[in-house]
Amino acid sequence: MSKHPIQNYQILKVIGKGAFAIVYQGQHLKTKEIVAIKQISTDMQEGPHKNKMLELFNQEIQIMKSIKHQNIVQLKEVQYTSDSINMILEYCALGDLEKYIKKNSAKNRLPENEAKPIILQLLDAMKILRLKNVVHRDLKLANILINEQMQIKLGDFGFAKSVTTDLLESYCGTPITMAPEILKKYDNYDHKCDIWSLGIMIYQILYGQPPFVSKKGTVTDLINEIEKQNINFPEQLGISSECVDLIRKMLVEDPKKRASFEDIFRHPWCLTEVIDLRKSILQTYVPQHQEFMVNLSFTVQQQISQLVSISRLIQSIENKYQEFAEYCVNFRSVLSNAFSSVQLNITYSNQKVCIKPENFKYFNYQQELLIFLANLYETAIQSKNNNILDFLDLGVQDYQISNYFSILYEEYTVTLLEEMKNLKLSQEKNKGKALTQIEDTRGLNKFVKSDLNTLIELIKDRFKNY
């Protein structure tokens, strides 16, 4: 047990040992919260070695303090004593990913559909590191932890470094996952060393072993194997071509030709959000879906009611202006079909599940209105009349309508998949709560709305004196 007392915490047992630290399971004396306590002894001989160790630990503390993310182990507090540094960390009851896979898979690997939710969570953690300009430098399965909610947590930032320049110097990490530029002791390297390590880990998770193995057990021999670039992708395991393509792009020996994080985040395999929860080791169950279905039905009814109102407004003046009639009919037809299908994004435990029918078509009201008004504008110019202003006076540009919704759950139930397939709109329009419309993260709607406003101002200015 620890010889260094820790204020407000009881040490329960040792759960890990490293070269420079011991990790304990601990419990807060008042709240009874279970935590992990990483204890670093500073009771060592003075000199460059001690100074370097203290520098690394303080660097780890500062980096972890600066990063708050649901897929990164949380640093709760730090206690200093005369002969130790104690990092109070979030406890991950299911241990590390390496041991978890060994325990739960006879073949020491996971099928792609089970591995994907894990890998996507890990990529989420890497996104925040990239935004913070932090290079981890010791990515390996043993540093990926799992909590009781089956949430992935990236930990052990002992070798991590904040990048204030483009390049790093120093030899650190674990050889089997270490990038070749570090193994070869190049003078400098950058964040792409983490991309290599991530590629090695993804391969390990899917194939049960590293892609490059030293037959002689030496770093020199490992480098030789990497230089051959002879990566084996056994077809009988059924890994998708998109996933293989992603791994190949991550495991390019030359860091200049290796995929960047931005490339990875945009890769088709990483953008796919549909997860088969019935086969996923990360599936959870919750009885909330009945309430949710009421809310979804209520929300769709609200949106349809708005579309009906808009359609009636258009029709009210449609018959007055024959030159615009064709476009009015087409626009009202588009509105009537807007909710022929609905897409739903569910976020739970930092995973995203996308539920949509095969024939789903995203309905972008702002885009459709822009097309409609542009056609009217062209016709109005040709006929030289200002009747188009009557359409602007309807105020149809003020509506916000979408068939693309989101819901946040702490947990998620597979049965919702079947409920969605057979969605029937409730007639009880006054019951339920409105769901959130998905934000357009790519900013497309922002530009559409800007174009729409520009067109409206152009129409008003053009026909104000007619």
The model's pLDDT over 298-344, given as tens digits with 9 standing for 90+, comes to: 777 888 888 889 899 888 888 888 888 888 999 999 888 888 777 77
Residue 69: is its pLDDT beyond 70? yes
In a domain, 326, yes or no: yes
Q: Are residues 447 and 298 in the same domain?
A: yes
Question: What CA–CA distance (Å, rounded) separates 276 from 118?
Answer: 13
Residue that finishes a domain, picked among 46, 68, 90:
90
Q: Are residues 317 and 267 in the same domain?
A: no
What region does 217 belong to: left with phi over 0, alpha with psi -120 to 50, or beta?
Answer: left
Which residues are documented as binding site?
A: 38
Q: Are residues 338 and 366 in the same domain?
A: yes
* Phi, psi for 386 (deg, rounded to 5): -105, 20
In a domain, 25, yes or no: yes
Pairing type for strands 84-90 and 34-41 reads antiparallel
The pLDDT tens digits of the residues spanning 415-457 come to 445 455 555 555 555 566 665 555 544 444 444 556 777 877 8
> If you average pLDDT over each of 13-22, 31-40, 301-310, which comes out highest?
31-40
**What CATH code is carried by the domain that includes residue 30?**
3.30.200.20
Question: Could you tell me the residue range of the domain that residue 194 belongs to?
Answer: 97-271
Tokens of 134: 């932090």
Q: What is the pLDDT of residue 28?
A: 93
What region does 173 belong to: left with phi over 0, alpha with psi -120 to 50, or beta?
Answer: left
Q: Are residues 50 and 21 in the same domain?
A: yes
Closest alpha carbon to 218 in 182, 187, 183: 183
Q: Are residues 190 and 150 in the same domain?
A: yes
Q: What is the pLDDT of residue 240?
A: 93
Is 166 annotated in the active site? Answer: no
Residue that finishes a domain, picked among 60, 90, 120:
90
Confidence tier at 377 by pLDDT (50, 70, 90): confident
Burial 110-141 (b: 16+ CB within 10 A, else e): bbbbbbbbbbbbbbbbbbbbbeeebbbbbbbb
Which residues are documented as binding site for ATP?
A: 38
State the CB neighbour count (10 A cutoff) for residue 203. 25
Q: Are residues 111 and 76 in the same domain?
A: no
The pTM is what? Answer: 0.57
Q: Is 106 exposed, middle or buried, given 0-12, 13-18 or 19+ CB atoms closer than 10 A?
A: exposed
What is the tally of structural domains in the chain?
3
Q: Which candidate in 96, 124, 138, 194 is catalytic?
A: 138
Q: What are the residues whose beta carbons fall under 8 Å from the beta carbon of 310, sequence distance 6 or more?
A: 335, 394, 396, 399
Q: Are residues 72 and 156 in the same domain?
A: no
Tokens of 345: 């994004």
Q: Are residues 382 and 406 in the same domain?
A: yes
Residue that finishes a domain, picked among 29, 56, 90:
90
Q: Are 87 and 16 in contact (CB under 8 A)?
A: no
In a domain, 284, yes or no: no
Q: What are the residues whose beta carbons fall under 8 Å from the beta carbon of 130, sequence distance 6 or more?
A: 191, 261
